[in-house]
Each structure stands twice: as structure tokens, then as C-alpha cells.
């Protein structure tokens, strides 16, 4: 399926983005058109400043394109040099391989640190010790390589995760390689316990649908009598939800879909949670264990979706950054897959799934659900998680959907009309720096 956003060659990174061109919005909803004309100029100014600050936070100088020199006598580490901020480490693998010279001279420079050669003795020529630019001279190649083997780098600027580039030169030969400056992370683990009840929490949000909610809970208890169920409730007049091992959290009335999801996930204490809508129903073949088996075998997965009845909804997101001043273009391609999961028939990578999914609790918390989106929201969570979450959908993971009941009051909130849609497009214009979007 051809789209205006796809091309035969699509690269992500600094090389093509230096001269980024405007992306096409033909057939798309133009997000900026929903901003009142009197407010647009000031909103654009604030958006540009926020985008500038975002780039400062998120982008590092490792985004710089580095080309390896051909037939170079310089030996250096391509990757894997990691140093704690404000600390020292030896740079491994530095060496020079060349024919005999009367004098050998190697130079190094960085921006966010200093160099030093350890254990210097008389007669060893090093200029720039403990500085950001250092030069080594020697009449002996063996001695020069010995000095390079004792070269250290010390980070002098504090940052929890950034990078520095080392510029290395000998005569007309030049090379660049990165050093990662990174605080060590403490592992955060979840004890899976001995059964499904200690691995998974079932989460849902309800609004004016207690009859459907009770059908859902009864169906869960038929197959999982002890598993914890978290219910977030923003009904206009809340009712008590009864049952064992059920936590009901009452929100202010009509706070919305994503605010409720945030609250539900914030209270999960297990490694995984299973998201279900309040009008779903467990079947004989609704097996949470099948979800868990797959994600345990594929630890990189963050979200695994199934099917509601015969509806295995999934999609791919195509995103182009576009010009800096205009913003990007984004399109949701419904029913499109990315790639099959190796060794798992009927499973494939996607960018978004249906409202029936198992997720790693810590991964979803990192992305979160935007509480601005109260009524019309689903794709937006996966949009915010693009590039951060590994998502898949599998055939055979199913749950039922209850018959719709005539609930005029519920439908009035659930389908608010065009105003919410226009507000959402305005929100995308600023928050996601989008020029246009197409669902």
C-alpha cells in the first residue's frame, strides 16, 4: 500500500536530516488549522522553544555521522567505551600501525573531558596532560604505542547519559570515535512468584457501565478466582464494586480514559498487567498464561496484543520529521505489520494493538497515558511510545465482547462530537510537533 510518507529510501539520523524537506500532507488533517488565528503566532513561538529544548535534552553528539577512514594506520575503539560521569577510564585499543618514520606524532581532542597518560617517566614526550587536547611525540613506534595504551579519558561535565567524541589524528590521517558517559543503572526487578496470580494484574476502567463490569468480573472469576483486579471508576455517581481481591479507585466524575489508565497502571505491583475494557468477557480460550509464555520467551517485548472476538486490530505508524519550522507528518496504517516474530507462528511486530493486551508494567509507566485525552484516545499512547516500546500482536489470544446495550448517557460522553477531535489535533500540533496526521 503506497502512501505519501513512504519512499524507496528512508533513513533516520543526522545525515539525511541536515537538509530535511517538508513532508507531504495531502489527504491528512492539518493540525495547525485547528488553532484560532489570534493564538497561532504565540503558540508557534512556544512550540518552537519547547522543541529546541527537547532536542537539547534528547539528542547527543553521537547523532553526528561518523565515516571510517579507508586504509588508515590508526587503530581505535569503534564502540563500547563507557565511563561514569566525572570519572576516569583507560581508552582501550589505541595504536598506530605504520612504516618507519623519523618522528611519530599522534594527537587527540575532546569537548567534554580531558586526557592523560598514566605513569609518565622522564623522556616520554606528552604535551597537554590533563587537558582536552593532547599530543604524543616519539622517535619509536613501540614507545608511542605504549603511551597510547596508557591513555585515559576523564569526564569533566556531569550528565546521567551523554556522549563525547574523540578526534584522533596522525599526519593527514584522522579518525573519530565515541565515548559514552553514563551513570550505571540499578536493576528494577519484579518477583514473578509461583503462579499467574503473582505475575499479572488485570486492569480496567469503567464509566456508567456497572452491569457490563460485573459480567466481566464474573467471567474473570470463573477462570481466575484469585487474580487481582484493579478497577478505576470515574462514573458520575459511583457504585461499590463487590468481590474478593478487587481494588476500586474512585476518580472525580468524567476524568477520562487516559487519566484512568494512568491511575490503574500506577497501582500495579506485578511484572505484567492485562488491560481489558469493562465490556469484555472471558471465554474458555482466554488464557493469560499464553500471553505470559510468549513475553517471557521474548524479553524484548513490552506490549503483546490479542483479539477481541474476531477483531485482531493492529497498525503501523509512519512518521517523517519534516522541516524544523513546520513539524512532522504522521500516518496510521491499519492492518499493516512490521515483521514476523522469529519462531512464533501467527505473531508479528506492529506499532499498536487492540485494547486487549498484556504489558510490562515498568515499560508502560515510562511512556504513560496523556490525561489531556479524555474521550477519543487509543492510538495516542502508541504514538507517544513510538521508538521506545517493542509491540507485537499474536493470533489465538482472544477475549469476548459483550453485546452493546442502549445507554444514551454513556454514549453522550463516549462520542462527544467534532469539538474533541479538533482539540486533539491542536494538542498534536504542539505536543508531538506535528504538521499533519492521518488515522
The candidate with the shortest Cα–Cα distance to 356, out of 323, 316, 312, 321, is: 312
Residue written as cell 565511563?
A: 83
Check pLDDT > 50 for residue 2: no
C-alpha distances out from residue 223 to 184, 197, 282, 294, Å: 42, 12, 8, 20
Name the least confident of 24-28, 316-320, 328-332, 414-418: 414-418
Domain boundaries, the chain: 65-182, 196-438
Q: For 236-271, b where at least 16 C-beta lie within 10 A, e where not — what string?
A: eeeeebeeeeeebeebeeebbbbbbbbbbbeebebb
C-alpha to C-alpha distances, 113 to 15, 88, 107, 240, 334, nearest whole angstrom: 26, 9, 15, 60, 48
Phi (first) and psi of residue 320, to 5 degrees: -120, 135
Residue at grid coordinates 590533563: 130
Query: 19: Cβ–Cβ under 8 A, 6 or more apart, which residues?
Result: none
- Name the pTM for this structure: 0.87
Cross-strand bridge partners of residue 108? 134, 168
The percentage of residues in the chain with a pLDDT greater than 70, rounded to a whole number, is 92
Residue 423 has pLDDT above 50, yes or no: yes
| CATH fold match for the domains 65-182 and 196-438 | no
pLDDT in tens, 218-227: 999 999 999 9
Report whether 211 contacts 290 (CB < 8 A). Answer: no
pLDDT digits (tens, 9 = 90+) for 381-395: 999 999 999 999 999
Q: How confident is the model at residue 424 (pLDDT cuts 50, 70, 90)?
A: confident
- For the 65-182 domain, the top CATH level (class) is mainly beta
Mean pLDDT value across the chain = 90
* pLDDT above 50 (res 5): no
Q: What is the pLDDT of residue 374?
A: 84
87-98 confidence digits (pLDDT tens) = 999 999 999 999
371 pLDDT above the threshold of 80: yes
Is residue 409 over pLDDT 90? no
The mean pLDDT value for 204-209 works out to 94
196-438: CATH topology is: Spore Coat Polysaccharide Biosynthesis Protein SpsA; Chain A (3.90.550)
Round to whole Å and give the CA distance between 253 and 266: 19
| pLDDT, tens digit (0-9, with 9 covering 90-100), for 101-147 | 999 999 999 999 999 999 999 989 999 999 999 999 999 999 999 99
Asked if residue 430 lies in contact with residue 40, where contact means CB atoms within 8 angstroms, the answer is no
Among 3-7, 336-340, 388-392, which stretch is predicted with the lowest mean pLDDT?
A: 3-7
Q: Give the model confidence (pLDDT) of 248-300 as tens digits.
A: 999 999 998 899 999 999 999 999 999 999 999 999 999 999 999 999 999 99
Amino acid at each position: 500500500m503506497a502512501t505519501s510518507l513512504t519512499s524507496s529510501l528512508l533513513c533516520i539520523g543526522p545525515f539525511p536530516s541536515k537538509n530535511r524537506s517538508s513532508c507531504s500532507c495531502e489527504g491528512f488533517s492539518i493540525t495547525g488549522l485547528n488553532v484560532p488565528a489570534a493564538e497561532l503566532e504565540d503558540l508557534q513561538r512556544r512550540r518552537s522553544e519547547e522543541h529546541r529544548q527537547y532536542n537539547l535534552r534528547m539528542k547527543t553528539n553521537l547523532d553526528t555521522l561518523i565515516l571510517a577512514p579507508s586504509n588508515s594506520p590508526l587503530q581505535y575503539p569503534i564502540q563500547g567505551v563507557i565511563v561514569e560521569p566525572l570519572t576516569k577510564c583507560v581508552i582501550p585499543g589505541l595504536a598506530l600501525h605504520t612504516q618507519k618514520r623519523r618522528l611519530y606524532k599522534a594527537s587527540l581532542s575532546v569537548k567534554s573531558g580531558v586526557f592523560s597518560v598514566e605513569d609518565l617517566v622522564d623522556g616520554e614526550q606528552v604535551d597537554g596532560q590533563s587537558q582536552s587536547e593532547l599530543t604524543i611525540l616519539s622517535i619509536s613506534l613501540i614507545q608511542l604505542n605504549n603511551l597510547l595504551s596508557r591513555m585515559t579519558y576523564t569526564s569533566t561535565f556531569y550528565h546521567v547519559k551523554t556522549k563525547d567524541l574523540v578526534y584522533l589524528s596522525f599526519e593527514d590521517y584522522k579518525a573519530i570515535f565515541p565515548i559514552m558517559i553514563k551513570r550505571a543503572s540499578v536493576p528494577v526487578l519484579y518477583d514473578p512468584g509461583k503462579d499467574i496470580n503473582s505475575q499479572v494484574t488485570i486492569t480496567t476502567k469503567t464509566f456508567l457501565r456497572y452491569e457490563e463490569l460485573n459480567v466481566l468480573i464474573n467471567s474473570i472469576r470463573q477462570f481466575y478466582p484469585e487474580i487481582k483486579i484493579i478497577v478505576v471508576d470515574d462514573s458520575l455517581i459511583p457504585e461499590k464494586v463487590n468481590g474478593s481481591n478487587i481494588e476500586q479507585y474512585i476518580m472525580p466524575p468524567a476524568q477520562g480514559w487516559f487519566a484512568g489508565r494512568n491511575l490503574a497502571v500506577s497501582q500495579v505491583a506485578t511484572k505484567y498487567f492485562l488491560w481489558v475494557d469493562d465490556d469484555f468477557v472471558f471465554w474458555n480460550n482466554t488464557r493469560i498464561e499464553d500471553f505470559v509464555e510468549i513475553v517471557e520467551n521474548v524479553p524484548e517485548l513490552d506490549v503483546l496484543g490479542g483479539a477481541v472476538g474476531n477483531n485482531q486490530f493492529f497498525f503501523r505508524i509512519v512518521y517523517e520529521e519534516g522541516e524544523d519550522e513546520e513539524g512532522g507528518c504522521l500516518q496510521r496504517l491499519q492492518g499493516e505489520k512490521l515483521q514476523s516474530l522469529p519462531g512464533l507462528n501467527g505473531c508479528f511486530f506492529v506499532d499498536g494493538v487492540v485494547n486487549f493486551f498484556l504489558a510490562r508494567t515498568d515499560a508502560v509507566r515510562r511512556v504513560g497515558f496523556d490525561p489531556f485525552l479524555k474521550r477519543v484516545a487509543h492510538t495516542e499512547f502508541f504514538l507517544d511510545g513510538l521508538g521506545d516500546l517493542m509491540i507485537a500482536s499474536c493470533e489465538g489470544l482472544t477475549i469476548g465482547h459483550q453485546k452493546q446495550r442502549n445507554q444514551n448517557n454513556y454514549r453522550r460522553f463516549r462520542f462527544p462530537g467534532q469539538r474533541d477531535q479538533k482539540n486533539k489535533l491542536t494538542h498534536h500540533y504542539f505536543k508531538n510537533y506535528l504538521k499533519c496526521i492521518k488515522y
